[in-house]
Amino acid sequence: MSNNLNSNANDLQSYWMPFTANRQFKSSPRMLVSAKGMYYKTGDGREVLDGSAGMWCVNAGHGSEPIIAAIREQAGQMDYATAFQMGHPKAFELANRLTSLLPKDLEHVFFANSGSEAVDTALKIALAYHRACGEGSRTKFIGRERGYHGVGFGGTAIGGIPNNRKQFGNMLSGVDHLPHTHNIKKNAFSRGQPKWGALLAEDLERLVALHDASNIAAVIVEPMAGSTGVLVPPVNYLNRLRDICDRHGILLIFDEVITGFGRTGAAFGAEKFSVQPDLMTMAKGLTNGAVPMSAVATTAKIYNAMMDGPTDLIEFFHGYTYSAHPLACAAAIATLNVYKNEGLFERAAELEHYWEEAVHSLKDLEKIIDIRNIGLVAGIELAPSKNKNNSIGYNCFLRCFEEGLLLRQTGNTMALSPPLIIQKNEIDRIVGILRDVIDHLE
C-alpha cells in the first residue's frame, strides 16, 4: 500500500513492534495517523471504521472532548506526583468513583499502568493475603487454557496461549490450568452464553485434589476470554468456579481488562454473569485508552487482612512509579463521566440484540464455522485454509483493512468489539464488509 509516511523504508527499522510480524509490516506498512469517533484515518488519507475500539479500549469512541480536556487541564496543573508515601486528590476521587461502580464487595483499588501489571499485582495480593492470614503455603495459581493475562512473567505463566509461552522457559512455577471452554461441536453458533460447558468447571476439583487446597492461592480467569477469540462462558460455568473456590478457601480473580466498562452490556462481566470475584483487574476502557492505566479491586476482607502490624510500616511492598499517575487519574475520571453522561453501558445493552442479529446473519457463509457474541463483542471463526502456508485469518484481517474496517484477528477468529457509540448503520457496514471479504477469501 502506498503511504506518505513510508518515503524512506529505513525509517521503520529502529522500532521493534510488539506482537507484530515486523518484517512483513515493514515491507508493507499500515499507518494510522488520526482518529475521531468511530473512525481512524490512515497515512494515505483513507477512513477506517474501528471495529475493535482500538484494542478493546476506546469504548467511548476516539477523541472524546471531555477526556482530552481533562488530560490537558491536569497536565497544566500537576504533571506528576510521586506515588509512594504521598497522594494527590484525583487518585482518591478515582478510587471512590470506581468502588461505587464495581460489584458491591469490591471496596479498595490499587493502581498500575497496564493490564499485565494489574495481573501481576493481583497475583501478589493473593499471595500476600494468604500469608497475612497464616496460610503462607498457598502459593500455586490456577489459570485456564486459552486464557490471556498479559505478558509479565506471572501473566504469561498463568495464561494459556502456547505461542506466548514457548519462548520463555519456566516463568512462574507452581501454575496449573483448567481446560478452556471452547467446543464447536457442542456450541457452534450459540447466541450469548453457550448452554453446554458448565461441567468443565468441575475440573477445578481435580486440580484441588492433585495439588491440595492448602497449596492453592487463587484461580484466575477472564469472565469472557477475549484475546483467544471471544470465548463466552457457558451458562453456570462461572458460578460453579465460584462455589468450588469458596469450598476450598481459594481466591477467585476475574481479569476484566477486556470485559470491564460496558463491553458486555453491563459495567463489568461480574455483573453481567452475576458472579462476584474476590479480586478484579481492569485496564483498557478505564481511561478510554487515552492514557495507560490499570487497577486491581479487592474486597474489604483482603484489604483489612493486610492492614496489620505497626501503622507506620508499609503493608504491601509493591507499587509503580506511575501508579495513580495524575494524567491517568484525570483521564479515568473524565472517562467515567462520559460513560455515565452518554449512557454508554446502557447503550451497549440496548444494541446487543441488533448486534447479535447482525453478526449471526453471516451464518450462511460456508467459510464460517462459528459465530459467538455477548454484549458488543463478537467472534467469527473461519474454517482453516486448505493451504497450510496460507493464514485465512490474517488474510481476512488484511482484506478488511483494505476495505476500510479494522478488527482483531486471533488465529482463524475475527474478533469484533466496536466503540459503544456505534450506530446501527455502522454495524450494518461492518457486517457488509465482512460478508464481502469472507466470501472472496481463499
> Strand, helix or coil at 438?
helix
If the CB atoms of residues 101 and 280 are measured against ligand PLP, the closer one turns out to be 280
If the CB atoms of residues 118 and 132 are measured against ligand PLP, the closer one turns out to be 118
Neighbours of 317 (CB within 10 A): 8
If the CB atoms of residues 101 and 119 are measured against ligand PLP, the closer one turns out to be 119
We find the least distance from the C-beta atom of residue 134 to ligand PLP, in angstroms, to be 30
Residue of the chain from 216, 219, 258, 406 that contacts ligand PLP (CB under 6 A): 258
Closest CA to 371 of 298, 279, 423, 435: 435
What is the x/- site pattern for ligand PLP, positions 29-68, by CB under 6 A?
A: ----------------------------------------
> Strand, helix or coil at 389?
coil
We find the least distance from the C-beta atom of residue 2 to ligand PLP, in angstroms, to be 31
If the CB atoms of residues 1 and 151 are measured against ligand PLP, the closer one turns out to be 151
If the CB atoms of residues 360 and 418 are measured against ligand PLP, the closer one turns out to be 418
Residue nearest to ligand PLP (CB): 115
We find the least distance from the C-beta atom of residue 346 to ligand PLP, in angstroms, to be 24
Q: What is the DSSP string of 57-74?
A: T-TT-BT-HHHHHHHHHH
How far, in Å, are 30, 227, 257, 275, 417 from residue 56 at the CA level?
19, 10, 9, 22, 6
Hey, CA dihedral for 293, 294, 297, 302, is it positive or negative?
negative
We find the least distance from the C-beta atom of residue 222 to ligand PLP, in angstroms, to be 5
Q: Which one of 132-140, 253-261, 321-329, 380-388 is the stretch in contact with ligand PLP (CB under 6 A)?
A: 253-261
- φ/ψ region of 63 (left if φ > 0, alpha if ψ in -120 to 50, else beta) reads left
Q: Which one of 93-101, 193-201, 205-213, 255-263 is the stretch in contact with ligand PLP (CB under 6 A)?
A: 255-263
CB 186 within 8 A of CB 196: yes
Q: How far apart are CA 373 and CA 396, in angstroms?
A: 19
Residue 42 β-bridge partners: 32
User: Does 299 participate in binding ligand PLP (rule CB under 6 A)?
Assistant: no
Alpha helix segments (H runs only) across 12-138: 22-27, 53-56, 65-77, 89-101, 115-132
What is the x/- site pattern for ligand PLP, positions 86-125, by CB under 6 A?
A: ----------------------------xxx--x------
User: How many residues interact with ligand PLP (rule CB under 6 A)?
Assistant: 14
If the CB atoms of residues 115 and 234 are measured against ligand PLP, the closer one turns out to be 115
Residue of the chain from 42, 187, 193, 227 that contacts ligand PLP (CB under 6 A): 227
Contacts of residues 347-354 at CB distance under 8 Å and 24 or more positions apart, as own/partner, are 347/262, 347/420, 347/421, 348/262, 348/263, 348/264, 348/265, 348/375, 348/376, 348/420, 349/265, 349/266, 349/375, 351/376, 351/420, 351/422, 351/424, 351/427, 352/265, 352/376, 354/424, 354/427
User: Does 148 participate in binding ligand PLP (rule CB under 6 A)?
Assistant: yes
We find the least distance from the C-beta atom of residue 192 to ligand PLP, in angstroms, to be 20
If the CB atoms of residues 64 and 294 are measured against ligand PLP, the closer one turns out to be 294
If the CB atoms of residues 255 and 426 are measured against ligand PLP, the closer one turns out to be 255
User: Does 407 participate in binding ligand PLP (rule CB under 6 A)?
Assistant: no
If the CB atoms of residues 271 and 426 are measured against ligand PLP, the closer one turns out to be 271
Closest CA to 325 of 74, 108, 100: 74
Neighbours of 32 (CB within 10 A): 13
Residue of the chain from 61, 160, 226, 285 that contacts ligand PLP (CB under 6 A): 226
The grid coordinates of residue 205 equal 476439583
**Taking CB under 6 A as the criterion, which residues in 195-224 touch ligand PLP?**
222
Q: By CB under 6 A, name the binding residues for ligand PLP.
A: 114-116, 119, 148-150, 222, 226-227, 255, 257-258, 283
